[in-house]
Structure 1
Amino acid sequence: MIQELDVQKIRKDFPMLQNQNLIYLDSSATSQKPYSVIRAVTDFYENCNANPLRGLYETAQNATEKYEAAREKVRQFIHAKSTEEIIFTRNATESLNLVAYSYGLMAFQPGDEILVSIMEHHSDMLPWQQAAKRTGAVVKYLECDRQGRITEEDLRNAITDKTKLVAVTQVSNVLGVRNDIRAFAKICHEKGIVIVADGAQSVPHMPVDVQELDVDFLAFSGHKMLGPMGIGVLYGKREYLEKMPPFLTGGEMIESVSRDGAVFAQLPHKFEAGTVNAGGAAGLATAIDYIENIGFEQIQKREDALTALAMEKIREIPFVHIMGQENPEQHHGIITFTVDGVHPHDIAAILDADHIAVRAGHHCAQPLLRHLGVMASTRASLMFYNTEEEIVKFTESLKEIRRKMGYAE
């Protein structure tokens, strides 16, 4: 039995989990939100709704304080050196686009190579493709094996004298495999190459120390880590952020404007044009508090144990095939699978009839699926608030998929 956490007590913190019929196994797409996060957002709009960073009156100053306190909370959470290295965005996608357009358009020259891992979410692939088209650079791909593994030797062999940037996810949203970002960063920096990491699937589930990893940029989303939608983070080393031009221009990201141009604001505000999502930032700060109150040691133990239970049960079903590595600890709560003769959309629909929510399709990672010889798959993604009973119900429903599709077993 998984007993490290009082899961039933935890589940009472989440309004969506009060629906006894719902088995939510789509946390990699977006996590559920605790009441405390919802209250934090509501509290901002009820008690200090003013435009941050602009007004000199008390309510506006309170709004600014909450917004900047959230930035400091994020800084501490990922162990950045300074709040100037923490840029608030809408999500990881916007964060990665910011780097691709602001840094990429400035740094890439015709013939330069951008090395992107084949397992990237489209959000960490399309921006580099677009940056390459605009600059004359070339996108090359860092291949993984069928288990999703990329070794240090693979990276060294893929790098050439023309490689200027490496983009790689810390945890795959399809296979759940974790890349050794620290080792990859060391290899990149030995050769003067910038490394960008997608932390959307790692930051909610494990400790991430950007200084220890020595990554140049890291992107993640609030909504995957118990926070509200519409708030994301870009971490960037100050040495790069200071040189980069603004991604968006307009209000608040300037010091002064004349008929002939503008003087841009200092970091981090140079990259936060317009009215900011202060309510979302307040919610994200509270989500971090919630995660830290439980602790990553407990979170990882529980999610690993749930994953192991699910994989054990699934392996008992002969027509279901799990993608990725054999070791449940290498899945980080993500179990992607196929069912013989049944399309993933049908699988998801049948499970939904049993009130089980999973994700079906290409998971915004079409090049990876093609690389693995699969056009579509089904993904169950777990979080610490899931229960053993939910896993059992999910796997029992999965056993009935082919029968319900009319196959004689």
Structure 2
Amino acid sequence: MYRIKTMNKISSAGLAYLDQTRFQVGEDLENEDGILVRSAPMHDYEFPDALRAIARAGAGTNNIPIDRCSEHGIVVFNTPGANANAVKELVIAAMLIASRDILGGADWVQEQAHSPNVDVAAAVEKGKSAFVGPELFHKTLGVIGLGAIGALVANVALELGMDVYGYDPFLSVDAALRLDRHVHVVKNLDELYKVSDYITIHVPYNSATKDTINAEAISKMKGQVRILNLARGGLVNDDDMIAALESGRVAKYVTDFPDDKIATVKNVIALPHLGASTPESEENCAVMAARQLQDYLLNGNIVNSVNLPNVSQDWSGIARICLIHKNVPAMLTQIMSILSGDGINVENMTNKSKKDYAYTMVDVNTRINDEVADELRAIPGVIRVRVLNH
């Protein structure tokens, strides 16, 4: 029985996916084999010995200590694309409220309605000109990051009659196939900055993407540009954005990640992290996270891991050996040498690496005893060995 600890409220649709005859699920479990988490902070979490995998029901993994997980042989999963439609819809709303002062206008109407002796209909006709703004039609949208969310945003913007430029230095074949052929995919951000009336960013947050939108980037943009950040707060430099808003170079900034510094600045529209906050998105993320966690624990397959390579293969033997190890030379030679020395025939084998780490799955035609497993664990650079029986 595998123990799965929940560190946030996880949609019941996801929990129902876990086979109750194979998994025990709860928030108070100890020495858990797997964790399902959303936003709970885990950087100070003490990993139990049994912990083998963490599945984040969402795309971002900033709350999880990825490097420490890798060092302990713990696979970290996320759920890219599961919340893509929810974020896409909020991006469209963000463009509209950044263009036409819908929020300000609605608040103003309420002020009139709650003021004594005010004819609301007459006041509206007289005061509506204070809230006018441009249409999206025939404007240019720049999309930074063309993954699951960015591609959806680019495609729907075309449907709204916008001209769309996209940038993604790591554009995958699958992502490229999802893009409408009318999206202008550019090779550098400067080209996107130069033409865009609206810019939306959809990339993961890490040391390479921190402050992607800063003073230098803003200086290359059109004046009165409207910038949307529904990805991660650290992708935009707050100080540089404030300066750009004060100078008028940026007309509006919509952020889903407000803080004390940016939330009260004029022409900032601060949203309470609503990007994936829909019941459909939460259900999609939970199901996807649970499915990936179950497949890894039962079959050793890795799909959508942020710290280890994606490796999946159909069962073709009696037992399966799963090894997480350093990405170093001669590792496969040592693994195969031990197996052949013990008279074990290999039915199938897959090995892939991701930066400093690698993952090897070996299907064999006999049961693997503890002595063989311990020999494999003793190989320098091997971090974790799991033996699964079909």
- Please say whether Structure 1 and Structure 2 have the same fold, judged by a TM-score greater than 0.5: no
TM-score per shorter chain, which class? 0.3 to 0.5
TM-score under structure 2 normalisation? 0.34
TM-score under structure 1 normalisation? 0.33
Higher helix share: 1
Higher strand share: 2
Task: Determine which structure has greater relative contact order: mean sequence separation of CA pairs < 8 Å that are 6+ residues apart, divided by chain length.
Answer: 1
Larger radius of gyration: 2
